[in-house]
Amino acid sequence: MIDHCLRILRFSYQELKSQFQIQTFLIFNLAFGIFGFLVLQIFQNSLILQTQLKAQETLTADFSISTRRILNQTEIQKIESDFTFLQKSETKSFFAMAANGTKTRLVRVIAIDSKYPLYGTYKFKNNAGFSNQQKIWIDRDLFLPLALSENSKIKLGQVDFEIADTVVTDPTLVFRPGGFAPVVYISLDQLDKTQLIQSGSTISHQFFYKTQTPESATAAQKKLSFDIKDTTIKFETATQDAQGSNQILKYFTDYLGLVSLVALGLCFLCGGYLLRWMFIDQKKNIAIYKTLGLQNSDVVQIQIVKNTLISFFAFMIAALTAIAVLPLLQNLILKYNLPIQLDFSPQNFWLTMVISLFVPQMISFPLMIEMVQLSPRELFQSQIIQTRKNNIFWVWLLVSLFSFWAVTVFQSQSFKTGSVFTFGLIILYFVFKILLFFVLKMLNTLLMRFSWMNRYALLGLIRKRQATDLVFITMSLAILVLCLLPHIKSSIIEEIKPTSTSEIPKLFLFDIQPDQQQNLQTITQNQIQQNLIFTPLVRSRILKLNNENYERFESTGNFSTREQDDEARFRNRGVNLTYKSKLSASEKVISGTWNENKFVQNSENQIMPEISLEEKYAKRIGAKMNDVMTFDIQGLQIEGIVTSIRQIRWTSFQPNFFIVFQAGVLEDAPQVFLSSVANIKPNDIDTYQSAVVKNNPNISIVNLQQTVDSALVFIDQMSFALQTMAYLSMVVGLFVFIVLLNTQARDRLTEMNLLQILGLPNRKVIQVVQRQFLFLVSLALMSGLILSLFSAWLIAQVIFNIGVTFDFISMLRICVVLLPISYLGIYFGLRPLNQLTPNDLIRNQ
Amino acid sequence: MSIQIHNLSKSYSLNNEKLMILKNLNAEIQTGEIVAVVGSSGSGKSTLLSLLSGLDPADSGEININGKNILHLSPKEMISFRAQNIGIIFQQFHLVSHLTAFENVALPLDILNRPYTPEDILNALDLVGLKPRSAHKPSELSGGESQRLAIARALITKPQLLLADEPSGNLDSETGKKVMDLFFQQVRRQKTTTVLVTHDMNLAEQCDRKLILQKGQFLI
């Protein structure tokens, strides 16, 4: 047994040694892909680990109860009787306008009691702490927009507050980047004085509990979720809250992971090519080994050992590189204010190693079949016998595709995203293949019009399809990924960026009480000479859709995929309704009819009120025309029938609603109003806001420009990371390209020697191959660029439902960088041709 | 095209040891003459072909082809001279795998930028019996057909000197005989000066003259 193992090891070593340079290429090629994957794993796992570790600090408790309404003492005492706890704290949070003289700014007010926080440490500029119950504590981001100094006072509602201290680090916000309203903490005792909370105000009422152990918090969450079937009350443990709190970062890292899979996929594609190249090179040796008595099982074992050694070296290079660059990445992460301590955990190590060791074995499976089928009789034949693709090959292909799909679902934590990504790549593969087929076919018909050298160069591409396909698809795909991101980014920015000439509102006003409409209209007319249009908002819950219960109760609170998790959150969230007679300019009916008439109770013509749904919303909740929906509006049940489906241009930023009731139904329901201001000069915003807040302190105003600016900073940070990962794909693409050039050059040494013997100078021999690959790279670049435009358009239209704005400057930049690099790649990749020795044709018979 | 070889020597270094392959070799080949070079393995036959084709420099001596010492030609001049005047046939055919039979034969003319018509190529293929296989690639041809294709390619430029290295060495005796009959027929028809390296004494007997190479020298 030991002898056998040693023999297999010796053979493996000899084969690795005999193809040292190509094996080195293979190792580095795999190392590139594994590196990207590993870094992503480290980032993802660190994020999960940190959120778990900081879960109590993020929630400030072991367990919380939260509602979108004020819970009274009787209700909370009834709930609390169901579980035990050590300590309790309470907060109420909502949006409001903070003012300093004429300067105003939307803030999130969190009213806290004296026990807050039960866990976690807030860092303050002057170490004041939440001690002085008469003052407020503010986010440092508030200083600039409100022009504050240390001694300034901030007006919240009816009260002028002194600033107790500035919050430097807020443990509840560490995993919530991109928030658009700075936080202001006030004492719960002071809340009533402000008079900010009125009927219909958007408010979150939370109770926090410290329990004996984290397990007792989980038990309480389960028990309460089971006992209290009220979807307006949310029970969450610290862990569950932590999972929800880093949702944006998780989405981001999931997408980042998919881009890293492109790099990994390209690496394995190239790995597959190199393994095949080596197999063809070694085919004769394998036949000789077999003639000399080597068993099929031995041949396969040798290949497995070789693969294992190569993968292991590649993994080690990737792991060591990752460890080396980790401090650099750590700095980068801290620069973006993410308190994630990157940690190369054993889990990262083992998972990546298993994938690194497993995938090359899987890639070489068809080769192993060919090795077994390889007959030593080939040694007696001058022609190479081509093995046909049998059923096992197709099964292997299916298994490989399924595995890739499974990895993408795992990486994106989403069946939908994983499937779209996998099938998108497969479709792109065929699109590129078909495109190349037609280009080469066209060139074939025009071949005689080219000079001999160009003709010969093109013939090399047309007739050597396997290598041509691989270079073309790899390069095109990498270029597409690289160019796609800037297009998507610019499209999103263009959509959300308000322009001074557009009809997009500059300010949103919400939580307007019915009796404030008149006053607000007067202020608006006086200040900016405009009329406001008020849109009613009625809070409700959907109880039933066609007599089926709509809301979903969680028994454990844990869902296997993001879709299921999102679905439960989505259904239990509650909905905002409105009513109106006329459609706005930003919406159109695409199915059914819009009823402008008022609903008349007990009318013979109409049994129940009509409702109109937004197209995508209807699809998501599974509602269609003539479906009956039952709503709970402040305890009153109201039914409506779907009679129209609308398409809304959301990027108009007009106050639009998913569900619109026919007029004449909800007018008497408890409601607040929304409004927006479109034409206001930037200089007038402060004065206008100040006037509104002074007279109506409970009304919140969102300045769209400020919101967009914070979103842009976030988009910039995220796109930078995605772009970096896309560059890794490109580097891999270039590496694949150089490897292919090199193997092609080696494959063609005899051919090139022959050309030289037939009279072609060495310079021209190299030029033939250079022209061939220059053409191929240019074609791949063009195809990648064009398809990136098309893909960006498709994604913008279909996924984001926005207009596309192409980023031609980035495209140009990518071309300017890539072309010389590719040409350098061609120069270096074809170096073996510099040492052409035509004499070999005679000497090495 | 006549060839005069004067005191031609060639050695190679192997592990710091100098191996003398050809020692003061002298020979003369007349225009249109078909000369066989025979000798055992390692006698220097392939080295002689390398030197005659200008692919390898000599240590000393002269190779005068039509009175011009090719050893004094620059690499650029040699490439041009070889392309214009010398055809080479290899034991292992060395055809371009992705080109068809037609394209393989046309290749030297393309490189020399000599005008040709499809009929010229088809005629050349016809002469070696491969006209019906003109659209086939080397992988679709048998060994005998591949070598006949190599002969057609070597003769398409009408070289004045043909160097053939064991052209039937890779073929069975029957196929080899057929190919060599065709070979002799073609070179005699074109009156091409030919140097044929072979182990096969029967083949050597069919040549006008044979030179026996032993330990780097011709036996007299």
Chain B: nearest CA to A760, how far in angstroms?
A: 6
Token couple for A478: 């990498």
Which range, A215-224, A247-256, A304-313, has the best average confidence (pLDDT)? A304-313
The residue among A241 and A769 whose pLDDT is bigger is: A769
Residue A440, chain B, CB below 8 Å: the answer is no
A-interface mutation test, from B85, B96, B136, B162, most A Cβ less than 10 A away = B96
| Chain A residues touching residue B88 (CB < 8 angstroms) | 757, 841-842
Residue A695 is predicted with a pLDDT of 81
Residue A696 is predicted with a pLDDT of 82
**Interchain contact, A841 vs B166, CB within 8 Å:** no
Segment B66-94, tens digit of pLDDT:
888 998 888 778 878 888 888 888 887 78
Q: What percent of chain A has pLDDT over 70?
A: 86
Q: Is A556 a residue whose pLDDT tops 60?
A: no
Please state, as a whole number, how many other Cβ atoms lie within 10 Å of the Cβ of residue A98.
26
Residue given tokens 């994957």 in the structure block: A37
Report the residue from B46, B108, B139 with minimal CB separation from A842: B46
- Report chain A's mean pLDDT, rounded to a whole number: 81
**3-state SS class at A66:** strand
The residue among A1 and A111 whose pLDDT is bigger is: A111
The residue among A84 and A832 whose pLDDT is bigger is: A84
**Interchain contact, A758 vs B107, CB within 8 Å:** yes
Residue A379 is predicted with a pLDDT of 55
Please state the φ and ψ torsions of residue A305, each to the nearest 5 degrees.
-65, -45
B-interface mutation test, from A379, A748, A755, A758, most B Cβ less than 10 A away = A758
Segment B9-44, tens digit of pLDDT:
998 887 778 888 898 999 999 999 999 999 888 788
Furthest CA-CA distance within chain A = 104
Residue given tokens 């913008």 in the structure block: A796
Chain B: nearest CA to A733, how far in angstroms?
A: 26
Contact A470, A267 (CB under 8 A): no
Report the residue from A750, A756, A842 with minimal CB separation from B49: A842
**Nearest chain B residue to A382, by CA:** B143
The residues, any chain, with a CB within 8 Å of residue A473's CB and separated by 6 or more, are: A269, A429, A432, A433, A436
**What are the C-alpha distances in Å from A149 to residues A6, A113, A137, A138, A289?**
78, 26, 13, 12, 85
Contact B48, B25 (CB under 8 A): yes
Q: Is A844 a residue whose pLDDT tops 60?
A: no
Token couple for B175: 């196929």
**Interchain contact, B55 vs A845, CB within 8 Å:** no
Chain A: nearest CA to B118, how far in angstroms?
A: 12
The residues, any chain, with a CB within 8 Å of residue A607's CB and separated by 6 or more, are: none
Contact A136, A156 (CB under 8 A): yes
Residue A844, chain B, CB below 8 Å: the answer is no
Segment A693-749, tens digit of pLDDT:
888 878 888 877 777 676 677 667 666 766 776 777 677 777 777 777 777 777 777
Segment A96-109, tens digit of pLDDT:
888 888 788 888 89
Residue A127, chain B, CB below 8 Å: the answer is no
| Helix-, strand-, coil-residue percentages of chain A, each rounded to 5 | 60, 15, 25
| pTM exceeds cut of 0.80 | no
Residue A319 is predicted with a pLDDT of 93
Segment A593-609, tens digit of pLDDT:
988 888 887 766 667 89
The residues, any chain, with a CB within 8 Å of residue B167's CB and separated by 6 or more, are: B89, B90, B91, B147, B150, B151, B179, B180, B183, B196
Residue A209 is predicted with a pLDDT of 92
Q: Which residues, given as ranges, of chain B have pLDDT below 50?
A: none
Segment A636-687, tens digit of pLDDT:
888 899 999 998 877 677 788 999 999 888 888 888 898 988 878 878 888 8
Residue A465, chain B, CB below 8 Å: the answer is no
| Chain B residues touching residue A383 (CB < 8 angstroms) | 139
Q: Amino acid identity of A509? A: L
The residues, any chain, with a CB within 8 Å of residue A446's CB and separated by 6 or more, are: none
Do you find a cis peptide bond into A117, omega within 30 degrees of 0? yes
Rounded Cα distance between A209 and A87, Å, is 6
Report the residue from B46, B107, B143 with minimal CB separation from A382: B143
Mean pLDDT, rounded, for A370-383: 65
Segment A469-515, tens digit of pLDDT:
878 887 888 788 778 878 877 877 776 665 555 567 788 888 888 88
Q: Amino acid identity of A363? A: I
The region, left, alpha or beta by phi > 0 then psi within -120 to 50, assigned to residue A129 is left
β pairing state of B209-214 and B34-38: parallel
**Nearest chain A residue to B197, by CA:** A842
**Nearest chain B residue to A756, by CA:** B79
Mean pLDDT, rounded, for A815-824: 83
| Chain B residues touching residue A759 (CB < 8 angstroms) | 79-80, 82-84, 108, 111-112
Residue A565 is predicted with a pLDDT of 63
From start to end of chain B, where are the E strands? 3-14, 17-29, 34-38, 60-65, 68-69, 86-89, 161-165, 193-198, 209-214, 217-219
Rounded Cα distance between A754 and B88, Å, is 10
**Nearest chain B residue to A768, by CA:** B111
Residues of B contacting chain A (CB within 8 angstroms): 46-47, 49-50, 53, 55-56, 76, 79-80, 82-84, 88, 90-92, 94, 96-99, 103, 107-108, 110-113, 139, 143, 146, 165-166, 169-170
**Interchain contact, B170 vs A838, CB within 8 Å:** no
**Interchain contact, A845 vs B98, CB within 8 Å:** no
Rounded Cα distance between A417 and A412, Å, is 6
Residue A381, chain B, CB below 8 Å: the answer is no
Q: Is A387 a residue whose pLDDT tops 70?
A: no
Segment A24-83, tens digit of pLDDT:
888 988 888 888 888 888 887 887 777 777 788 888 889 999 888 788 888 888 888 888
Q: How confident is the model at residue A751 (pLDDT cuts 50, 70, 90)?
A: confident
The region, left, alpha or beta by phi > 0 then psi within -120 to 50, assigned to residue A664 is left
Mean pLDDT, rounded, for A140-155: 81
Q: Amino acid identity of B154? A: A
Q: How many CB pairs under 8 A join A and B?
A: 71
**Interchain contact, A758 vs B83, CB within 8 Å:** yes
Contact B99, A784 (CB under 8 A): no
The region, left, alpha or beta by phi > 0 then psi within -120 to 50, assigned to residue A157 is left
Residue A177 is predicted with a pLDDT of 54
The residues, any chain, with a CB within 8 Å of residue A485's CB and separated by 6 or more, are: A719, A722, A723, A726
Give chain A's length. Answer: 845
Residue A265 is predicted with a pLDDT of 75
A-interface mutation test, from B55, B166, B170, most A Cβ less than 10 A away = B55
Angle A593-A597-A598 from CA coordinates, rounded to 5°: 130
Q: How confident is the model at residue A383 (pLDDT cuts 50, 70, 90)?
A: very low
The residue among A379 and A614 whose pLDDT is bigger is: A614
**Interchain contact, A760 vs B79, CB within 8 Å:** yes
Instruction: Give chain B's radius of gyration (CA, Å).
Output: 17
Segment A305-338, tens digit of pLDDT:
999 999 999 999 999 999 999 888 888 777 766 6
Residue A834, chain B, CB below 8 Å: the answer is no
Q: How confident is the model at residue A200 (pLDDT cuts 50, 70, 90)?
A: low
The residues, any chain, with a CB within 8 Å of residue A786's CB and separated by 6 or more, are: none
B-interface mutation test, from A382, A461, A750, A751, most B Cβ less than 10 A away = A382
Q: Amino acid identity of A837? A: T
| Chain B residues touching residue A754 (CB < 8 angstroms) | 94, 96
Residue given tokens 């914070």 in the structure block: A710
